[in-house]
Structure 1
Amino acid sequence: MPEGLEVAVRTLLAIVILFLMTKLLGKRQVSQLSLFEYITGITIGSLAAYISLDLDTNWYLGIISLVVWVGFSLGIEYLQIKSKKARDFLDSKGTVLIKDGKILEDNLKKERLTTDELMEQLRTKKVFMVADVEFAIMEPSGDINVLLTRENQPLTPKHLGIKVAPEQEPQVVIMDGKIMDEPLATIGLNRGWLHTELDKIGVTIENVFLGQVDSYGQLYVDLFDDMLKVPQPQNRAQLLATLKKCEADIELFALSTTEKKGKQMYEQCSNDLIQIIETVKPFLK
């Protein structure tokens, strides 16, 4: 076999084997690398290059070495899952860099991190004042996580005592002008419902680049033509407005009647409906 063709065949073989081995090692291998995983990545890449280009040796020896190394890596990962001590030894522990707005210089030196690098990491977290930091820790992955002091934390509905509705994963039901039947079935809907919703906004399936249904059954679409505007779903807002109108009508009935029992009944119904509206309002806004 000509050398050029042999290199091409070996390279294709190395790509396939490398893909399969990396997939076997899992997603963590290609996301946040520990020290050992970093070494594993370099070694596997070197072995793949050896399989591709070293024509003077038997190619299967590289594959054996690759399999042994990946098997050893899997063993290390299993050991890390089972043993906290193994995780601490291989991945090390997190290091506190800032506590109560004070930089811990000794820990900064221990991680060989300069003040400029620390400030750069803080700015990536949208933090510009060290005094605003309650706690900052460098994780084994090298990322720095920051907890702001309570007065500097973003305001949330929980701080205001506001109850909000839970959100579920939106489902993509249209992609590139094609209906996705499986996501539709997941949320208990069908093509008939989808066509009805599209008719309401005057859009055909072929014109939809992406269509999503939220946890409340409302359809949102993005069209191929970016110049066209599609009205946003108003089902929840309309339901809330209807409930408020019903409550106002009941109050009007209570004011217009002169019968004592009837007035009491209307007032009781109005109070009950007000409580219902307050309960469902977070879900309908």
Structure 2
Amino acid sequence: MTEEFEAHRARLRAVAYRMLGSTGEADDALQDAWLRVSRADTGDVENPAAWLTTVVARVCLNMLRSREHRREEPLERAAAVGVADPEEEALLADSVGLALLVVLDTLAPAERLAFVLHDMFQVPFDEIAPMVEKTPAAARQLASRARRRVKGAPSPSADLPRQRRVVGAYLAATRGGDFDALLALLHPDVVLRADRAVVPTPEPILVAGARPVAEGAMASLGRAQLAGLVLADGRVAVAMLEHGRLRVLLRFTFDGDLISGIDVVAERERLAEIEVGTVG
């Protein structure tokens, strides 16, 4: 089975990455799966590709389920862990669609597995069902619910094109470290509010004025490399990922073509209340 595993490694890693949203965790999943494969009796395996996909998917499902108790990690601790290859992580996120990864992170583990395997890798529901301990019909419902979350965002704001243009420029300036371009997008009296999960403080953070807000944005240059545009309650927002998980969401208010307010959301309870979807 060694040759089969290596022959299908690229596809198996793609499955693991879409399940977990992190290259480091995807590689860990493949290593765990290989250990299981090497100890298994594979004499009766008729379809190695399907069987290996099942093994990897089960490992990923267990990892997703064990993730829940770590969701409240402080951002500094999560960021300190780092990623195996930040450039590869960013490229993979772009290839899959960062907004899609953000929405996938909001799904329950079984929903994510059903959606990823069926909608992205065409795995039949009768093969998915045993992995989630459901009937094929129930597995189909899991994927359907996930699909609605991915595609069924609230009706967007009427000025969505303008929001996309301004927020896209904000993200590009932050990613590129272009302080002057960022400053030009901010209203002189812009106010940024950040909850206590962003940086542990007794009170939420409040920063007023274009220059201080721009300086703060420049400090998040590294995190911005794994950020992208999403819809948050029907308005364009910026989502930032850490190790495949939605960690920070920036919501914006506008005065004409200028950003007049930024709400930085990192508390898990607040993030859970926001309907997140793809920009389209």
Query: What TM-score do the two structures reach when normalised by structure 2?
Result: 0.24
The structure with more strand, counted as a fraction of residues = 2
Q: Which of the two has higher C-alpha Rg?
A: 1
Larger RCO of the pair (alpha carbons < 8 Å, separation 6+)? 2
